[in-house]
Structure 1
């Protein structure tokens, strides 16, 4: 889904346009292909989170708050049902109707097409609080309701009558599921019991007991095996054999959180499950013992991401670390290319044996990481530091697993008691060395291939305070560290000698290096920004404007833009060459991390308390954007996150975009750029470049043999004479040409000739100039030949032509055409011009103007060449 944003003032339009990263935004309605587990459709977003979801063969019903909507073609809202006063928590499609139940215990039956209320039922919460609903198979116009008190009621919704009431089992009903057998319903209770009950004879057939808490979902296999699966709040799934009436198998830790739903695919041994851990999994039952095997899965973070960076040079993969302790790689192309690198663990082998529930062996969440592509096929290419944890971990992107080494400074045994932890990490561009900064001020170097400690910077420590950032230049010559002691230190990478120290006005929050340009961005605790040139080791730019802590920074690929995100919920784009703020937009939630793709087309952002990663497209790549500085009193407008606005708001935003585009000044090239500049004609070179060589071209193109007569037609249809064969219609042949010669044929004056005569009197040469510009090279040659008296012209017309060239030079328009036409004119009539005083005088005047134009152009060329040579020497 794509949204368009515009700023509140007509001065500029926002550079970044939001696009939802659909594989982890969980409030869109997504249809999944089970065989590939890929999305086939994404719906338009609703204004609030979806609380309930149901579908029939034509529509998908989704509720948010007290409103129920119906999606058609899995995309657009076609029906909206309003009438509830409380939040809807149950939805059941029912033929041409749909049933919705809200928190006030009110049931409304809607007509799907007309959106009108068909029936409304209200229940007393103290006696019957509806907690489950089902339509029994073959029971016409009847629904079965379950309550928190444990009782069941069978209603006929057409006659609005209660048909039967089941006393229940003294425990709240959580799930009602139709069994493959008619009249049999599976009833899941809060006590963990499952009853298979025949509602026709009010008889319980069998009872099962699960010890994992309330039953969250139930499903039956339909491929010939009498198996029932039941979900639990702890993530386990129980598999029950209905013939032997016993527990057949258990699928422990199927999800890290409660099982929200499970469904057997009809006629296949496939079970689809999803949970609150933001994962969907497909299990296949093809092994002995009826144990389910994980076939394929899609998952995102179960807790909000904390740090994101693009991985690779194509910008198609985003590495993301979350508060759940996992590291993921999300694809911006297709969700099938996404993968999970897993949880960080203290002992990977032991944690694998103990399973997902082994929380004691898990490492804290990753707060920062660095990745390189150079040697990732040979050894680990990612290093990460964890929250309040000393040891840094390595990760292997190719094998999608945690790496072999844990990097910890030697000699620090009781680091927990001392409160020492890693705060910053960096990888060299060659992929061989890792640098780790600690909270006590040390900066250590490791060989990432072997995990061996290779020394540290400084005699005892690099800084007196906590290390806030570590970076290495692109050729491993210089290491730059930033500490809370307000110092930026430059070190020799190999010898670890201190080169220079720069004192800042405030302690730095973090640093970011653009290796290609050598620009180092430093975020300060006073919400300011400094940009340093690591070659000269000087501050070249200072920015201020944020009103909160700067959470993250990123450079554009060419190093011209610096994008920053702050706790004041703004994202700002700074133009480094001009030193100005060129874009700013305000969000509902603060951005905790952001990353610009290496191709410059997308900006990815992660937000506070949000599971999604959002993409913003660079609008300057596909439309004209004014990059003028924003005024000092600019106040950004609040921008809705992608995926959080409904269809109507999208239309309004599009209209605002069109209005904003009208306000942006669009540049239109004038016919003449200025008084001191010359303008070319923009005609193809073939129209004027070969005017002096037409005679050579004609000799080359002269046919070697005379043209042959065409063969006669093979049938007896009369034809008309001419270059193109034509048939006579209705027996009418073309009349024989008259022998009387029309005197108009002998007229030598062309339209251009006549226009030159008139322009000689009026001194306005716009009309003849426009006429000759439309002619081809051969026509221009003929017209200029006919201007001489020997071709039927006159001296006055030749003088008028020279005046036309003079007017083109005076107005500085069509400079290329003026030179070409004048060159051809002199080539044809130079001898005749030398014998005519009027033409000599006109040529002399024209020569002076030509020299003046060329001298002016030559000075401009020389000035541009000098500036270009200076820039080249500065870069070298």
Structure 2
């Protein structure tokens, strides 16, 4: 590493540029993450940590739900389940949240408390360094209780956010954050623990009133208040549910579900809720268990009323009834799903009303849909889902139903004919198309192809998928959100086609009428998407081995196929199946893509982790891109008009951008988690990536789209200085870039002051880019207060005089019009005599003599008092400032260069300094180039000019990016 830095320093790079290069990427910056509804991943992905409980509150009659995710808060409308707002990222992960009143929340992080209003942090309260707040309970008057599991205590804060009491527990009680408040017991809260004990704490007198021992049932996992006074529900780790009367200190009822749930089912109770719309008509208690099942208890009859399995794919994070309504809202912990049920049946069983969901498992492949970047389609491996995600509006996220229209109509007829409750329940929960059984789902998607050519034709499918272990391919229409009726299956002679293999890859022609499917036995099939019929088959196109990729060219006349073992690339004519070219790749292939705007094919290789680019017409390898250190997971061409870049992701944790013209890597984005797929928006302003262990879709904005290709060109030149680019890549790979968060502290262009510092609470290998605050003297580029005509007029005074000259000549012929008034009135007579030599013949000189104010400009330059010089020069009119700059003596040019360098570095009066510098260079450029002593000052001024312009360009790119995004969102 030291030798690499020394080599770059010898090549002329400054140390500051070297540090900036090693700490940040040049082309992409994190923007946001999509698809997260209730969780960031499964418990295994997050290290088994428990998720904080969401918060429900009402403003008038409008319900709202606050869901904490990572370091951010998401606010949902309780009626429509639409995302309303998103908070800024807090310093660390959120561990608890509670409602203080109105739009105020108290949010607990690992080491501090935050009082937020409208999801914006207003007050921060530091807590004990060794503590960890796991639970919050807020009273209606602004008083709240914070339970600290690390310190084993409960602290009470008043409405002024001051600590008023503190209660410590013994070694036999480890609070787990479950808190309820009996309405009839003032200043008393019930706190659950991991040992199965419940402590009744008097927060006013800082004492423990009573400890209820239920340790034989395991840890307390759920607490809930009932509509009846002094009655609470308790759920335990062994699946027991106890109804307890706190006032009398007795157990009213107790249930155990071992006889009602299937053998081997996890019985841990995750959530409890009482129905409160009509307690007399429906005295029901709902308990949710860790396998996602629901049990309904009839408290009046003291029996289990019903059990409903698979309500969630995993434990339920929280469940509650809306006040005085039969509306049940459940929030999943691992399935990234929020369900709203209505209990309007006579038996009181819930039915699904609406839901909001995302991927349950990390997606493995992603592509954009349409000509804009509004929607993208992603496929998950473990969750067997195919989802459409909107980059603009979160409630447009949807899952493509795997039930065809024909099957949906058959189910509707079956429901009309059969009225028995068992059949209705089975159809409602096991065969519901929104939450189908895993056995009825298609296998995981291994590859898919999408086309927008015929998306408005209802008789053509525009999405084709290949599934694990299936020889047939399935068609879809993503605009209608369901699977199409055709299944692309080869029906040949059974004697000659005993082994059909499995479909491994698929591609759709440019016209949208045909789909090519590659098989694991080496065959390539072509299907018509309108009729679903098989057209032809190329037998043993790749043998031995299977087909790793198929692709159509931009015109749709040629079809290419890549072998996964034979290392060959074949190109065929679409209509005649004639083999046009047979290219030897010399490596097993992983993926094949064909540029839509050129005749180039890109192949990812399995043995040397490289990308080979071939020209289809000649069959020769035109580029060999090497640099990845592990298996390449995805490649795609840039969506620009020229298609000159290739994006590739690898299991080595990097996303590389390759320039086909330069033939080398121009950017390496090392990520904290290995990327599995990538795609660039059709406009080239966004890229999206999926990662191992992350169910969200990370969105990055391309800074080159808003800043132009200047940075990209600099990276290409920098790679050429380092020979083969290995030394530069070592600097690129020095730090990992943190993945986008739900709410980023957004800066589309990370400037040179971005400091890469390791976050102590996160993975030490992951580095977050934080921008240090800038002092008042350097708060950014600042424009002057002069009117726009002032600095626009200054560089063009000569042109204005030429126009005035022509006007006066025409006036002298006609003699009917008066000459225009001078730009500057009341000129000194002595000045005209001194400036006659510099004025063109026939032009009346109207430039003022340098008076006492103007003369002080040169004096200030010679004293190096640049602040005074700037004030004197700005006080002059445009014509007077033009004269003052043009009549600078030769001995003052060096001081003038230092003055303009200081003014550009100060980043004050940006546009005025640019106009004055232009006049100065137009007049004195020849003399500066002849004098070697002045060239050094000119080089410093040039560097200051570049630095100030980059800072201004950064600010402009932010505004342009935001305006573009808001315009497209409307």
Match of 2:86 among 42, 57, 65: 42
Question: Counterpart in 1 of 2:438?
Answer: 359
Distance 1:619 1:638 in 2: 18
Which residue of structure 2 aligns with residue 290 of structure 1?
348
Task: After superposition, give the CA deviation of every residue in 1:794-834 in whole Å (9 maximum; x if it has no partner).
Answer: xxxxxxxxxxxxx9999899xxxxxxxxxxxxxxxxxxxxx
Report what 2:454 is aligned to. Answer: 375
1:223 maps to 2:277: yes
Matched, 1:322 2:407: no
Q: Work out whether residues 380 and 448 of structure 1, in 8 Å CA contact, stay in contact via their aligned partners in 2.
A: yes
Q: Per-residue displacement from partner, 1:813-861 (whole Å, max 9, x unpaired)?
A: 9xxxxxxxxxxxxxxxxxxxxxxxxxxxxxxxxxxxxxxxxxxxxxxxx
What are the residue-to-residue correspondences of 1:395-434 with 2, within 5 Å? 395-411=476-492, 420-434=501-515
Offset, 1:118:
4.2
Q: Give me the whole-angstrom Cα distance separating, in 1, the residues matched to 2:315 and 2:815.
A: 84
Q: Is the 8 A contact 1:31 1:39 kept in 2?
A: yes
Q: Which has the larger radius of gyration?
A: 1
Give the corresponding residue for 1:610.
Answer: 694
Change in 2 beyond 3 A, CA 1:685/1:467? farther
Are residues 760 and 413 of structure 1, via their aligned partners in 2, closer, same or farther at CA, if it must alter by over 3 Å? closer
Pairing of 1:774-853 with structure 2 (within 5 A) = none
Alignment CA distance shift 1:608-1:128 (3 Å): closer
The 8 Å contact of residues 165 and 204 in structure 2, kept in 1 or not, is answered as: no
* 8 Å CA contact retained: 1:469, 1:481: yes
- Contact preservation (8 Å) 1:514, 1:520: yes
Do the aligned partners of 1:131 and 1:148 also contact (CA within 8 Å) in 2? no
Among 168, 175, 188, the residue aligned to 2:222 = 175
Classify the secondary structure of the residue corresponding to 1:360. Answer: helix
Show the counterpart of 1:233. 290
The aligned residue for residue 556 of structure 2 is 476
Partner of 1:256 in structure 2? 313
State the Cα deviation string for residues 697-722 of structure 1 (Å, max 9, x = none): 9999999xxxxxxxxxxxxxxxxxxx
- 1:453-602 matched pairs, under 5 angstroms: 453-457=534-538, 459-484=539-564, 485-525=566-606, 526-558=608-640, 559-602=643-686
Whole-angstrom distance in 2 between the partners of 1:361 and 1:110:
52
Q: Shift of the alpha carbon at 1:774?
A: 7.5
Q: 2:890: which partner in 1?
A: none
- Measure how far apart 1:527 and its partner are: 1.6
1:99 aligns with 2:146: yes
* Kept in 2: contact 1:325–1:344 (CA 8 A): no
Q: Is the 8 A contact 1:422 1:437 kept in 2?
A: yes
Distance (Å, rounded) in 2 between the aligned partners of 1:810 and 1:758:
14
What is aligned with 1:639?
Answer: 737
| Contact 2:95/2:110 (<8 A) preserved | yes
* Alignment match, 2:46: none
- Alpha-carbon distance change, 429 to 683 in structure 1, aligned in 2, over 3 angstroms: farther
- Measured in 2, the distance between the counterparts of 1:167 and 1:654 equals 48
Deviation at 1:163, TM superposition (A): 2.0
Structure-to-structure mapping, 1:664-813, within 5 angstroms: 755-757=835-837
8 Å contact from structure 1 (residues 606, 614) kept in 2: yes
Provide the C-alpha distance between the structure 1 equivalents of 2:117 and 2:701, rounded to a whole number of angstroms: 28
Partners of 1:572 and 1:332 lie apart in 2 by 23
Q: Report the number of matched residues.
A: 712
**Pairing 1:32–2:76 present:** yes
In the TM superposition, residue 187 of structure 1 has moved relative to its aligned partner by: 2.0
Q: Is the 8 A contact 1:309 1:319 kept in 2?
A: yes
1:347-387 CA deviation, whole Å, 9 max, x = no partner?
97799774357433333211221111222341321111123
- Given the superposition, is the C-alpha separation of residues 390 and 118 from structure 1 closer, same or farther in structure 2, using an over 3 Å criterion? farther
In the superposition, relative to structure 1, how do residues 415 and 45 fare at CA in structure 2: closer, same or farther (>3 Å)? Answer: farther
2:80 and 2:833 map into 1 onto residues whose CA distance is: 75
Give the SS at the match of 2:695. coil
Instruction: State which drifts further: 683-692 or 59-68.
Output: 683-692
Equivalent position SS for 1:56: strand
Distance 1:658 1:158, change over 3 A: closer
Q: Tell me what 1:214 maps to.
A: 268
Partner of residue 468, structure 2: 387
Match of 2:128 in 1: 83
1:251-301 Cα offsets, whole Å, 9 max, x none, are 543222222211112233322111121101222344554343323221111
Is the 1:385–1:424 Cα contact (8 Å) retained in structure 2?
A: yes
CA-CA distance at 1:435 after TM superposition: 0.9
Q: Equivalent residue of 2:471, what SS?
A: coil
CA-to-aligned-CA distance 1:614-641 (integer Å, 9 cap, x gap): 1001112334652222432112231111
| 1:425-444 → structure 2 map (5 Å cutoff) | 425-444=506-525
Name stretches of at least 5 consecutive residues in structure 2 with no aligned partner.
1-16, 41-68, 262-266, 412-425, 720-724, 756-768, 779-793, 851-876, 880-920, 928-970
Give the Cα–Cα distance (whole angstroms) in 2 for the partners of residues 590 and 579 of structure 1: 25
Separation in structure 2 between the aligned mates of residue 272 and residue 443 of structure 1, nearest angstrom: 49
1:88–1:694 Cα change, 3 Å: same
SS in 1 for 2:771: helix
Give me the whole-angstrom Cα distance separating, in 1, the residues matched to 2:109 and 2:603: 43
The answer for the alignment partner of 2:27 in structure 1 is: 15
Which of 323, 338, 342 aligns to 1:280? It is 338
Q: Which residue of 1 aligns with 2:243?
A: 196
Q: Secondary structure at the match of 1:21?
A: strand
Contact 2:677/2:691, CA 8 A, preserved across alignment? yes
Q: Give the SS at the match of 1:577.
A: coil
Residue 74 in structure 1 maps to residue 119 in structure 2:
yes
Tell me, in whole angstroms, the C-alpha distance in 2 between the residues paired with 1:76 and 1:538.
60
**TM-score, normalised on structure 2?**
0.65
> Structure 1 residues 685 and 638, CA, compared in 2 at 3 Å: closer, same or farther?
same
Q: What is the CA–CA distance in structure 1 between the aligned matches of 2:622 and 2:609, rounded to whole Å?
A: 18
Q: Distance in 2 between matches of 1:123 and 1:532?
A: 72
Following superposition, the deviation at residue 495 of structure 1 comes to 0.9
User: What is the CA-CA distance between 1:593 and the residue it aligns to?
Assistant: 0.3
Give the SS at the match of 1:368. Answer: strand
Shift in CA distance, 130/461, structure 1 to aligned 2, threshold 3 Å: closer
Query: Contact conserved, 2:830 with 2:849, CA < 8 A, in 1?
Result: no
Query: Cα offset for 1:496?
Result: 1.1
CA distance in 1, matches of 2:297, 2:120: 38
Cα deviation, residue 758, structure 1: 6.8
Could you say if the C-alpha distance between residues 362 and 696 of structure 1 is closer, same or farther in structure 2, counting changes exceeding 3 Å? Answer: same
